[in-house]
Chains A and B, each alone.
Chain A
């Protein structure tokens, strides 16, 4: 074991660490102090001071404690301070002493009060465990996802447990507690009495217990002065050590490197620090002043009034190299390098010795590894130089190891600096914690420039590195209340520019949280993706702006989202007015209304005084109505609207439709036949087909149906009925406005050539050819065509002739054509 001085504490504590609640965050985190005097005096005037220092003792925050009595303080994995009060309230502060939030450990606590509490860390996050005045345990495994669990009662427990610890086993949080000579294991459902294997039967009480960093091991300090060490499931004993001290230690913590064979525990009394291990002997350090132990993954930090030290088992590599008279390859290489520096030939001898055993790569590796365990930059340098020296004699030693170590050590030394104060060991803590987390911690400490430097130095991809730091910086920047909006927005944009992976909307969201809406809007202007701007703008109630941004984004879903929001937020009038200025949103909303809210659609048109569309709306509505009365009403509305729109045509057409409806109703009653939903044309045809000529004539006159249409209608209806007599009569009633070719054609269509022929003579000269063709009379057609001397007519006939059978005709036509062409 060895003790390394990390820092000479720069803090200036008047009363030392006495009577303080102390908590230090693992992984070289900050230290919090709360004067405990409050407990006794209880005078409102003497408010205790809560102070937060970095690991180097640099003050980070200090403020008078105004809330209730604090039982325990502890740090979360993300370096937030938890203050657990007597009444079960847990207050959370960040490391600068800013209040974050609070939660309660349950109602039961209110009466019984918290007598003791512990903060613990696991894969799930940071947890809190309390024991109440009724000696019941309650825990929350993760304070960010608060689920309180009340553990089962311990039967017969009348006094507070002498000591207890939180364990993580099989992904379950358990509590082990001691009461007299009994040990109990509490899990979610049960309370089990347990006995550690090989415990001295004389033990009548346990003074102290400690779980290891990983919860794998448990140490118990008994009233006999023994330390029992074993696995935390209490199935296996590792060793036992007699401290010969009968008084309970102030603190007991594990000091064990992962994978190391030696279980060892550090115990602290007022004036003594003792390391107990497997062997019979112990290492004793006298301590002069009040200290505090902070368990770490691979050792223990000892914080005292003036020093901050790190106690750990000497790592293998260092031991090999620095052990006196060590012949390990690393030690030899270091020696060789020393000689080389002195320009002594011994260097060669040492080297040769290593090389003969083929251990040079091993030697280099050892030196590099050892450098990682060393705290002093000087020692690191010596070891690294030695390894680099050794590397020169190797042709294919992979460089990554060495280069990586140099990079990482530089980073570690930088963060270990007094001004930063994060002492981390390389091989365990740093590796376990990862660079990402380290950068996060720097960011939490607002050490943005250093974080960025590290990102750049380690060439971390921008997205995870620099951009992330910059984003945090910007989020912090927006909270600086003293600077005006313009300055901040400008500063942020200048720094961030278009760096990949930066979301201006996130920063703006933070600004908004801080109540700086104007700044948020300014920041949003820098956001290139308009889609990202919308949700925040809505939140800030800048709905108009949100709407235009949504439209700009071209994402209709977004537009729709804003529209729905507006609809619920605004009164109808304002809502419509807003839509009116945004045609895209308006048409989207109209589409929706068409399916969902017909009446809203009407209101929309009303708002705009869009009488044309209103007219159309009523026309559409009329066709949806079942009763004639309702239809008429809708149509009348339409007429009114069309009139307002000065659309005489539509108004008239609609009036005619109303007139038609009236007629249709009358016919429907008279003839017991459906006429509704028929157009005028269809109605007339239907009447004609039924022989209701009189009624048809009425419509013809009433609606001013053009003569042509009426004639077409009449002849096709008559032909349909094969009422040839009536057809002939009709043809003679007056001069046909459509000529007589249609008569021929309609007869042919109904396979009555006889009737058709009656009309041929009436057909005009121009159409005669067609009439003959319709009858299939080619010869007559030819005659007619020749008579007209029309080339196109001749061609028409020609196209109908079949070359094989109509030889004679063909000749005739061709002859005629020639004649026509000549002229």
Chain B
């Protein structure tokens, strides 16, 4: 395998040690559990289970007198314990389930102690539910301020998948303060930051909330320890998140779904009848070498690795007893470990190949590339039509429709209607609601006759000048929001000009993550802004609907004279989720430019997750 960064460049600095965050979270959880002394059963909200597992395992919980662990569900419980502890996200439905449990106990004349631990924070609405259900006095509430889960050396997640839908679709800003607090936590443990950049309305609000926390707190002048922070809204760049992923880690996520840094390989991969959970992070030596590679290179790499492994094994031949002893005690274990991982990833690859190298996938990619580049649109539309007609996949069809709309600045009415009608025939009329949601988000829209849209823009523009109103017009805004993808693509040179074949082995830009067809807009913005701030990008920000900002947060210290290593550490925070492809692209950029990017995201997303979150599931 050829290393990606050939030229001699500055080495990226070491990232800070994020295991502190885990320790903080664990200590606080233990403290909270001890607030309810004695034996207790713990009910955990389903999607907090994996994050909890990364923080405190079962034996730790048992040490603090947790007796049994249950998943919180909407059904009667069987616990016999006198104390019940609930660990939940601040969601209305979970609180209602708990209220049902408590009221059932009450009706049965059973007395227990109840404690709800909200993570990462409690919302007023949750308390209202407790009040409405008449159990406010029966339960005690606490907050487990577990904002950030480090998934890897350079990846931190808030594990809040609903952030996307709540903020961007429903216009519900409740998570903004959560994001602000998360940023504040990073700031107080790893900061201060010297510069903060951002784009998007949510980014701006997050920045403002964070500033308020900083100002409210104690202020000590400290040397900036983290260079830059870049905040970006997911809706600044939908296109990237909707493209098929072809980098190994992204592909694994698309196909097997990585959950909290862990993937479950089914029997078809493990070649046994059991499925196997595997942690995917930089401590997996094999994985860490292929995770950021274009899939076409992965097989070659793996076979080479297999060969070198064989050579290492082969060393045994001709060893004397002493050498053999050394070999067994020192190398064999590592080799075996490598061997195990290698065979696992090879099987995973095979499974991916089976699914993805078929004709269909190639054509799918071809269509995607056509959409990105903007030619053969009619052909692409009929491809999508066929896709829908054959009922290939609900989300895949939707994904292509959205890509088409985003790249074309909306569909012309005739196409929009016919495609929508066909979609409804295939997947059901209830998707009228899905289409309404997509329209609200600006993901899939019908082109309006020219004058209507300007009128709309004017109206919105007037509203935005008023500060208070300005904060709230997202919902309206997206109605008029054009993606302007084509213009942006031209302005930022997102489609690389290639003569001949794009060399995926030694990529020259971030486009390699999409087979050389497209440089992810989100990452390109990060690159440009780190180079020279927003200056010169006025046209781009206008096309992106503005809301960009750049603030020197270093405080009174003035210019930082020495370029510390730590100045090249950059936090990139995605509000609404980011994809593994984007992470790979930023890792590549970091190696090229000597930056260490730390990706902070509200959740890991991909096209399927993004679109599933927009569906209006049948009640």
Specify whether A and B are partners: yes
- Residues of A at the B interface (CB closer than 8 Å) are 529, 548, 551-552, 554-558, 560-561, 564, 582-584, 587-588, 590-592, 595-596, 612, 616, 619-620, 623-624, 649-650, 653-654, 656-657, 660, 677-682, 703, 705-706, 708-709, 712, 716, 738, 770
What's the nearest-Cβ distance from chain A to residue B604, in Å? 24
Among B193-244, those with CB < 8 Å from A are 205, 208-209, 212, 216
Given A616-B436, A657-B429, A703-B425, 9 more A-B residue pairs with CB atoms under 8 Å apart are A557-B123, A560-B125, A588-B174, A623-B618, A623-B619, A653-B421, A677-B618, A679-B426, A705-B425
Q: Say whether B415 faces chain A, with CB atoms less than 8 Å apart.
A: no
What's the nearest-Cβ distance from chain A to residue B3, in Å? 28
Q: Looking at B93, B125, B429, B472, which has the most chain A CB atoms within 10 Å of its CB?
A: B429
What's the nearest-Cβ distance from chain B to residue A821, in Å? 15
Instruction: Give the chain A neighbours of B166 by CB distance below 8 A.
Output: 591
Contact status A588-B425, CB under 8 Å: no
- Taking a contact as CB atoms closer than 8 A, the residue among A529, A584, A653 that contacts B424 in the complex is A653
Query: Closest B-chain residue to A552, C-beta based?
Result: B468
Q: Looking at B96, B132, B472, which has the most chain A CB atoms within 10 Å of its CB?
A: B472
Instruction: Give the chain B neighbours of A560 by CB distance below 8 A.
Output: 123-125, 128
What's the nearest-Cβ distance from chain B to residue A561, in Å? 6
Q: Say whether B172 faces chain A, with CB atoms less than 8 Å apart.
A: yes
What's the nearest-Cβ distance from chain B to residue A649, in Å? 6
Q: Say whether B390 faces chain A, with CB atoms less than 8 Å apart.
A: yes
What's the nearest-Cβ distance from chain A to residue B366, in Å? 11
Q: Bound state CA distance, A590 and B166, in angstroms?
A: 11
How many A-B contacts at CB < 8 Å in the complex? 132
Q: Say whether B56 faces chain A, with CB atoms less than 8 Å apart.
A: no
- Taking a contact as CB atoms closer than 8 A, the residue among B176, B425, B468 that contacts A681 in the complex is B425
Instruction: Give the chain A neighbours of B93 by CB distance below 8 A.
Output: 595
Contact status B172-A681, CB under 8 Å: no
Q: Say whether B386 faces chain A, with CB atoms less than 8 Å apart.
A: yes
Instruction: Give the chain B neighbours of A660 by CB distance below 8 A.
Output: 429
Q: Say whether B537 faces chain A, with CB atoms less than 8 Å apart.
A: no
Contact status A679-B471, CB under 8 Å: no
Instruction: Give the chain B neighbours of A677 by CB distance below 8 A.
Output: 428, 618
Contact status B468-A551, CB under 8 Å: yes
- Taking a contact as CB atoms closer than 8 A, the residue among A596, A620, A649, A657 that contacts B433 in the complex is A620
Q: Bound state CA distance, A303 and B391, in angstroms?
A: 101
Instruction: Give the chain A neighbours of B468 by CB distance below 8 A.
Output: 548, 551-552
Query: When each residue 411-446 of chain B gets 1 if its CB lies under 8 Å from chain A and 0 otherwise, what string results?
Result: 000000100111011111110110010000000000
Contact status B429-A681, CB under 8 Å: no
Query: Closest A-chain residue to B167, C-beta based?
Result: A587
Q: Bound state CA distance, A709 and B397, in angstroms?
A: 15
- Residues of B at the A interface (CB closer than 8 Å) are 92-93, 96, 123-125, 128-129, 132, 166, 170-174, 176-177, 205, 208-209, 212, 216, 359, 385-386, 389-391, 417, 420-422, 424-430, 432-433, 436, 467-468, 471-473, 475-476, 616, 618-619
A706 in contact with B619 given A561-B124, A584-B472 (CB within 8 Å): no
A681 in contact with B427 given A584-B472, A706-B389 (CB within 8 Å): yes
Q: Bound state CA distance, A653 and B170, in angstroms?
A: 24
- Taking a contact as CB atoms closer than 8 A, the residue among A583, A592, A679 that contacts B171 in the complex is A583
Q: Bound state CA distance, A415 and B289, in angstroms?
A: 78
Instruction: Give the chain A neighbours of B174 by CB distance below 8 A.
Output: 556-557, 588
Contact status A587-B475, CB under 8 Å: yes
7 contacts between A and B (CB under 8 A): A556-B173, A583-B171, A584-B472, A592-B125, A612-B436, A681-B425, A705-B425
Contact status A591-B170, CB under 8 Å: yes
Instruction: Give the chain B neighbours of A588 by CB distance below 8 A.
Output: 125, 172-174
Instruction: Give the chain B neighbours of A591 by CB distance below 8 A.
Output: 166, 170, 172
Instruction: Give the chain B neighbours of A681 by CB distance below 8 A.
Output: 391, 425-427
What's the nearest-Cβ distance from chain A to residue B177, in Å? 6
Q: Bound state CA distance, A535 and B472, in angstroms?
A: 22
What's the nearest-Cβ distance from chain B to residue A10, in Å? 49
Q: Bound state CA distance, A585 and B486, in angstroms?
A: 35
Query: Closest A-chain residue to B122, C-beta based?
Result: A557
Instruction: Give the chain A neighbours of B390 by CB distance below 8 A.
Output: 712, 716
What's the nearest-Cβ distance from chain B to residue A795, in Å? 12
Contact status B429-A619, CB under 8 Å: yes
Instruction: Give the chain B neighbours of A556 by CB distance below 8 A.
Output: 123-124, 172-174, 176-177
Instruction: Give the chain A neighbours of B417 by CB distance below 8 A.
Output: 649
Instruction: Give the chain A neighbours of B385 by CB distance below 8 A.
Output: 708
Contact status B427-A679, CB under 8 Å: yes
Q: Bound state CA distance, A624 and B386, in angstroms?
A: 31
- Taking a contact as CB atoms closer than 8 A, the residue among A623, A624, A656, A709 that contacts B389 in the complex is A709
Contact status B425-A680, CB under 8 Å: yes
Contact status A619-B124, CB under 8 Å: no
Q: Looking at A590, A679, A680, A708, which has the most chain B CB atoms within 10 Å of its CB?
A: A679
Q: Bound state CA distance, A653 and B426, in angstroms?
A: 12
What's the nearest-Cβ distance from chain A to residue B152, in Å? 31
A619 in contact with B430 given A708-B389, A709-B389, A709-B422 (CB within 8 Å): yes
Contact status A554-B128, CB under 8 Å: no
Instruction: Give the chain A neighbours of B96 by CB distance below 8 A.
Output: 595
A596 in contact with B171 given A587-B475, A619-B432, A679-B427 (CB within 8 Å): no
Instruction: Give the chain A neighbours of B471 by CB distance below 8 A.
Output: 551-552, 554, 584
Instruction: Give the chain B neighbours of A716 by CB distance below 8 A.
Output: 390
Contact status B472-A583, CB under 8 Å: yes
What's the nearest-Cβ distance from chain B to residue A706, in Å? 7
Contact status A583-B429, CB under 8 Å: no
- Taking a contact as CB atoms closer than 8 A, the residue among B92, B216, B391, B476 that contacts A595 in the complex is B92
Query: Closest B-chain residue to A581, C-beta based?
Result: B469
